[in-house]
Structure formats: structure tokens, C-alpha cells
């Protein structure tokens, strides 16, 4: 069903936002660190208009689910919590939001670590901005989206996903300093493209494991006497910490340094080496990988035309990202998936996207 069929009238406006994949800088954003995401072709589109009654009306085409909200004191669950959160943070910022009819359709894979939630939040806020002509820039949109996710979806996320969805494109890498909001747009290394393959393993422990890792990093920073682990630049400084804080902190410090090295300019080969080192660190020091992801990344790293590969997103399942020779991504993906699926798994090519709608 389209907007007209669901709500009985055409939409008044619409806006879209992409998912993202992170090339380097995993689990650094909530440590005030540095990240290197890029947008993916898949995106979420939100159509909206004013509701015909006193209730907010939300509809997800993907889920074929409709939610009505009259009482603003109770946060709904599922996809509607993100939309409701966006409305609430706008109202807390001083804007009056009349009851809305919201229609969502998305090609961003859910549960693969590609920020489907951030795409929904940013698309929702962009659509409301257009409808009500709100004076919000793209950074403010990202910051409001982050607050919606923290306070209404219950995820203590950093700012990377929302900033990437709000500011990144598919042709460049977005360097972001998550403490200062300094950002630069960098080209992909010459002669390369991005390949993303879903491991087929849903991120079953992502939320609980994520919150635990975040708490461990905060404890490590406290013991080191700094505001955040981003303030430690020499990895040897963490060696006196008790386990597992030593390994958690070592990952963050070395990961930040990998991102900063890319900022100075590196060859595709060196970029790939840094991605490989990132995966090893996420697997061994941060302990957020799973056997399926390790298998997939190992096959990628050993395949001709692949400069480097790693898990992307929170971990505990989800997708891998690889930097590969330009023009060869689909052929490489098919070769890798044949081996990966032969090992007993079921992977899927996500980027390059074969058919992106909306």
C-alpha cells in the first residue's frame, strides 16, 4: 500500500537518507574518537503530511505495520520508537509538531550493521524540516537523531551513524572527529571501490555487548585519568590496566591511530593493511567478532583484488566491508561467496547494490 491508500490522501512532502558503512574507526565514536564512514546506495524514504485526527499515525511498508499514538508519555516499540523519538526531541528543542501521518519505506538492510535506524531518524527529521520549514542544518539534524536513538530507542550510541547518514555520500569517505565535529571529505583511494557482504548472521548480542564495551571503555578512561580514550595516543599507556580493560583500551587507541594515518594520505595497499589490522583488533582485543565474520573476512583477505577487509558495525554478526580494485567488486563478491557458502554459511552482497529502489 502507498501513502494514499494508508492515509486516504497524498503526502505533503518526503525526504530520504542513506545507510552507511564504516571503513575504519569502529567503536571509537563513543570514545570521542575518529571515524571514516561512507554512505551506501540503499536508503530510507519517509513521506509525511498532517494527520487527519489528533493522533500521530506511523506506517512501515517493509513491515506492513501501522501504529497510532495519542499519548505522548509512552514511547512505542519497534520502528515507531525512532519516529516518535524524532518528534519528541524536536518538541523539546522548542518546536511545535502537530499530529503527523508518516509512511516509511526502506532498502537499508536491517540487522547488518549498516545503520538502518540512523537512516530512518535522519529521513524523518529531514521530512519534518521540509514540512514545517524548520531552521535546522544537517549537523543539527544528526545531533537530534542521535538524541532520539539514545532517549527513545534506548541505544547509547555515538554520533557517527547519524552524521554519516546526514552528511556522507557514496563517492567519498567522511572523516569525522566525534569530539569536535571537525570533518573532512576524502576521496576513496585511487582505483578502489567498496564491497559489503552480509555474513547472514544477525547481530544477536549487539546491544548488550555494545553497552558492556562502552562501560568498559569508560572505566578504562577513568583509571587512566582522561576524559575519554581518545586522549591516549600511545598504545603502551594502556598496558598497566587490568584485563579486559587493557585490551579494550588498546583497540580504541590503535584504531584511532589507524584513522589518523589515513588522514595523512595512504596507498590502497596501506589502507587495506590498516583494515586488516582493525579486524584483528576487533576480534582479539575488543572481542566483538563471531566465527562467521572471521571466516568471511579471512576469505576476503586472501582473495586477489582485495586490499583489505574487516567486520563493520557493532559486531556480533552483521556485515563485512572490503576495499577492492575498482570494477571488480561483483566478481570478487561472487568468488568469495562461493567459498563462504561452501563453508556452511549464507552470505549476501549488499554493496554494490543490485537493485536499489525508492
Residue with the three cell numbers 525526504: 15
Cβ atoms within 10 Å of 1's Cβ, excluding its own: 11
Residue with the three cell numbers 585519568: 225
Q: Which of 209, 228, 210 lies closest to 218 in space, CA to CA?
A: 228
Query: Is 161 noted as a catalytic residue in this protein?
Result: yes
Choosing from 32, 161, 256, 285, the catalytic residue is: 161
Contact call for residues 184 and 38 (beta carbons, < 8 A) = no
Reduced 3-state DSSP string for the chain: CCHHHHHCCCCCEEEEEEEEEEEECCCCHHHCCEEEEEEEEEEEEEEEEECCCCCEEEEECCCCEEEEECCCCCCCCCHHHHHHHHHHHHHHCCCCCCCEEEEEEECCCCCCCCCHHHHHHHHHHHHHHHHHCCCCCHHHHHHHHHHHHHHHCCCCCCCHHHHHHHHCCCCEEEEEECCCCCEEEEECCCCEEEEEEECCCCCCCHHHHHHHHHHHHHHHHHHHCCCCHHHCCCHHHHCCCCCCHHHHHHHHHHHHHHHHHHHCCCCHHHHHHHHHHHHHHHHHCCCCCCHHHHHHHHHHHCCCCEEEEEEECCCCCCEEEEEEECCCHHHHHHHHHHHHHHCCCCCEEEECCCCCCC
Q: Which residues are catalytic?
A: 161
Amino acid at each position: 500500500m502507498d501513502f494514499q491508500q494508508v492515509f486516504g490522501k497524498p503526502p505533503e512532502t518526503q525526504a530520504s537518507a542513506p545507510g552507511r558503512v564504516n571503513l575504519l574507526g569502529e567503536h571509537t565514536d563513543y570514545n570521542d574518537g575518529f571515524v571514516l564512514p561512507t554512505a551506501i546506495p540503499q536508503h530510507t524514504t519517509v513521506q509525511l503530511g498532517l494527520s487527519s485526527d489528533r493522533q500521530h499515525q506511523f506506517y512501515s511498508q517493509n513491515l506492513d505495520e501501522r501504529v497510532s499514538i495519542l499519548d505522548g508519555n509512552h514511547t512505542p516499540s519497534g520502528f515507531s520508537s525512532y519516529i516518535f523519538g524524532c518528534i519528541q526531541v524536536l518538541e523539546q528543542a522548542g518546536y511545535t509538531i502537530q499530529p503527523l501521518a508518516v509512511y516509511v519505506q526502506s532498502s537499508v538492510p536491517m540487522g547488518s550493521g549498516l545503520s538502518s535506524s540512523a537512516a530512518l531518524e535522519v529521513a524523518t527529521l529531514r521530512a519534518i524540516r521540509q514540512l514545517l520549514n524548520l531552521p535546522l542544518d544537517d549537523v543539527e539534524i544528526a545531533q537530534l537523531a542521535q538524541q532520539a536513538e539514545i532517549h527513545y530507542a534506548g541505544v547509547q550510541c555515538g554520533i557517527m551513524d547519524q552524521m554519516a547518514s546526514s552528511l556522507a555520500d557514496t563517492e567519498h569517505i567522511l572523516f569525522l572527529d566525534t569530539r569536535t565535529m571537525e570533518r573532512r571529505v576524502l576521496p576513496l583511494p585511487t582505483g578502489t571501490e567498496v564491497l559489503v557482504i552480509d555474513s547472514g548472521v544477525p547481530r544477536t548480542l549487539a546491544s548488550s555487548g555494545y553497552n558492556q564495551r562502552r562501560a568498559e571503555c569508560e572505566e578504562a578512561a577513568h583509571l587512566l585519568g582522561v576524559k575519554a580514550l581518545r586522549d591516549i595516543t600511545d598504545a603502551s599507556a594502556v598496558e598497566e590496566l587490568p584485563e579486559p580493560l587493557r585490551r579494550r583500551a588498546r583497540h580504541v587507541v590503535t584504531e584511532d591511530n589507524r584513522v589518523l594515518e589515513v588522514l595523512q594520505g595512504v596507498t590502497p595497499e596501506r589502507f587495506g593493511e590498516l583494515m586488516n589490522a582493525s579486524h584483528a583488533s576487533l576480534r582479539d582485543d575488543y572481542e566483538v567478532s563471531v566465527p562467521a565474520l572471521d571466516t568471511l573476512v579471512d576469505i576476503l583477505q586472501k582473495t586477489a583484488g582485495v586490499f583489505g577487509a574487516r567486520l563493520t558495525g557493532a559486531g556480533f554478526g552483521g556485515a563485512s566491508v572490503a576495499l577492492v580494485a575498482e570494477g571488480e567488486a561483483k566478481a570478487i563478491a561472487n568468488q568469495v561467496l562461493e567459498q563462504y557458502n561452501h563453508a556452511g554459511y549464507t552470505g549476501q552482497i549488499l554493496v554494490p547494490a543490485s537493485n536499489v529502489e525508492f
